[in-house]
Amino acid sequence: MVVRYQAAMRGAVVAGCLVGAAAMNGAAAQTLTMASSAPITSVDPHYHTFTPNASLDAHLFDSLLDMDAQSRPVAALAESWKLVDERTWELKLRQGVKFHNGAAFTAEDVAYTLDRVPRVPNSPGSFAIYTKPIVGVEIVDPHTIRLRTAGIYPLVPIDLTQVAIIPHGLGKDPATEDFNSGKNAIGTGPFRFVSYKPGDRVEMDRFDGYWGKKPYWQHVSFRIIPNDGARTAALLSGDIGFIEAVPTTDAARLRTDKRVHLAETVSLRIIFLTLDQSRDGPTPFITGPNGEKLDRNPLKDHRVREALSIAINRPAIVERVMEGAAIPAGQFLPPGSYSYAPDLPPPAYDAARAKKLLAEAGFPNGFRITLHGPNDRYVNDAKIIQSIGQMWTRIGVQTSVEGITWSNYIARANKQEFSAYLLGWGSSSGEASNPLRSLVATFDAAKGRGAVNRGRYSNPQLDALIDKAVTTADDAAREKVLQQATKLAMDDVAFIPLHNQKNIWGMRSDLTYIARADEQSRAQDVRPVQ
C-alpha cells in the first residue's frame, strides 16, 4: 500500500512537472526578452528626443506616419496625406483604430497631441522641433484633419513620423510621471504597457485590438543592459533573445557562432570631421611645421580641406578599425536614401595629390595640427582619430590626437575650441535637408539654421539652395535641389565625411529581424524563422 502510494505520488509529481514544463515552454515561446543598449529616460513619448525612448515608444504608440526599415515615410495612423494648397496638408485618418483603453482614435486625438507636444514641462529635448512649422490645426471631420504651415513646408509628413499620438481623454496637460507609472501610457501601438522599472526594464503585453499586423510575441520584456560585454554574454547564455548594438569586436566572432544570428543594415548615422571655419586668423590647434605661430587659418583654404580629405584612406578605416561594420561615405546619406546623390562617391585616397594640393596652398612642408574626438560616444571613435592622425602625418601634416570624454568634449566643440574634430550625425528624417539645415547652413539663430554647424562653415550659394529645397513642394523636384546642394557642399569640402555606420542586432538563431536604418529595436519586427 505504501509502495503503491509512493509510486502514485511519483507519477503525479512527474505529470505535474511535465504539465508545468509544457506551460512554461508555451509562455517562454511567446515571450521575447530584448536588451536596449542605453537606459530610456521616460515612457512619456513627448518628453525627450532620444533613440532608446523612440525604440520603446514604437511598441506602445503609433504616429500618423511611420518610417519603414529604410527610413522612408509610410502610412500609419494616417492612411493618406496631400497638399490641398501650398500651406495646408490634409490627412485622412485610419478608421476603426482603438487605443489600449478602448477609446476610438479620431482627429480630436491628433489635435490634442499637437497641442501638448510643445508644452511638456522640463523637457530636456523637446519634440516641438517637429511640430513648430504647424501653425494651425483644423478638424474637418472625425477622420480628416488639416494642418496649416506658416510658409511652404514640404517636410510635414516626415516630421510627423516622430510624433506619437496619445488619446485626448488624458485631460489637460498630462504629467510625465503618469506615463512612467503607466496611468497615461496609452497608445494605439501593438503592445500594451504593463510595468516600468527605471534603469532595469519595461514589461509589455500584446494588444489584441491592434489595427496592424499582429506581432508574434504575447509578452515582451524590454531590458536595459548598457555594458557591451554583459549584453553579448546575456545573448550567448540565452537569458536575452534579442540585443541591439552588437559591438564590432564581438560581431566577427558571433557570425561564426551557431547559437546566434545577426541582422545588420547601413545606418543613417554618418561619422565626419568638422574643420574650424570660424576664424580667418590663427586657429587654436594649428601651428607651422616647426611649431611657429601661423598668421592665417589654413583650413579656410579649399585646397587644404580637400588635401586632408583625400589623405584619408576610408576603406582601410572601414576594414581595419570598424571591422566591416561601416561603409565609406562621400556625403551625408547612405546609397538608396531619398536625395542621395549618385554622382558623389567617397573621395578616393590619393596621398600624392594631397601633398601637391598642400604645396599649392602654400604649405609645402605641411603644418602641425591636433585632431580632437570623443572617446566614448561613437563606435571606435578614439581608434578612428588615431588612424586619421597617422594618415595625415604621412602627407606632412604632423598630427597629434586627443580623445576626450563626451560630456566635456561636446561642450568645448560647441564653443569652437577645436580646429579639427570628429562628430556623428543621424538623419532622423532619412533625407538630406535635415543635415544640410543643421550641419552646413550658415549659423543663424533668427532663422534657426546651422544650429550644430560647429565649424561655422558659411556659403551663401549653399544657403540659397537649401532655402529653395525646403520650399519646393514637389518631391522629385526637391530631390534634385537637395542633390545639387549636397554636391555643392561636398565639392567645397564643407566637412569631411568618413563613413556610415552599420547597425547590428544579435538574436537567437531561430529568430529574424528586419534591421532598421534608424537604429530602433522593435519587438514586432522580430519573428521566428519560417
Structure-block grid coordinates of residue 59: 511598441
- Assign 3-class secondary structure to 359-413: HHCCCCCCCEEEEEEECCCCCCHHHHHHHHHHHHHHCCCEEEEEEECHHHHHHHH
Residue 206 CB, nearest distance to another protein (Å)? 21
* Closer residue to another protein (CB): 202 or 481: 202
Give residues in contact with another protein (CB under 8 A).
35, 39, 41-42, 47-50, 121-126, 128-129, 132, 176-177, 180, 197-201, 223-227, 229-231, 233-234, 236-240, 376, 406-408, 410-412, 414, 425-426, 428, 434, 438, 445, 448-449, 451-452
Residue 489 CB, nearest distance to another protein (Å)? 18
* Closer residue to another protein (CB): 356 or 412: 412
Residue 405 CB, nearest distance to another protein (Å)? 8
Q: What angle do CA 336, 341, 343 make, to 5 degrees?
A: 115
Residue 413 CB, nearest distance to another protein (Å)? 8
Under DSSP, the state recorded for 119 is G
* Closer residue to another protein (CB): 83 or 233: 233
53: nearest Cα among 120, 148, 139: 120
* Closer residue to another protein (CB): 134 or 240: 240
Under DSSP, the state recorded for 202 is E
How many Cα atoms sit within 13 Å of 431 on the Cβ side? 24
Residue 264 CB, nearest distance to another protein (Å)? 23
* Closer residue to another protein (CB): 139 or 452: 452
Element (H, E) at 29: helix 2-29
* Closer residue to another protein (CB): 198 or 362: 198
* Closer residue to another protein (CB): 225 or 263: 225
Q: What are phi and psi of 335, to 5 degrees?
A: -55, 145
Is the C-alpha dihedral spanning 306, 307, 312, 314 positive or negative? positive
Residue 237 CB, nearest distance to another protein (Å)? 4
* Closer residue to another protein (CB): 357 or 413: 413
Residue 436 CB, nearest distance to another protein (Å)? 12
265: nearest Cα among 503, 430, 499, 51: 503
Residue 183 CB, nearest distance to another protein (Å)? 15
240: nearest Cα among 248, 253, 231, 249: 231
Runs of H (alpha helix) within 87-227: 107-116, 128-131, 156-160, 176-180
Going through 394-525 in order, the beta strands assigned E by DSSP cover 398-404, 420-426, 496-508, 511-513
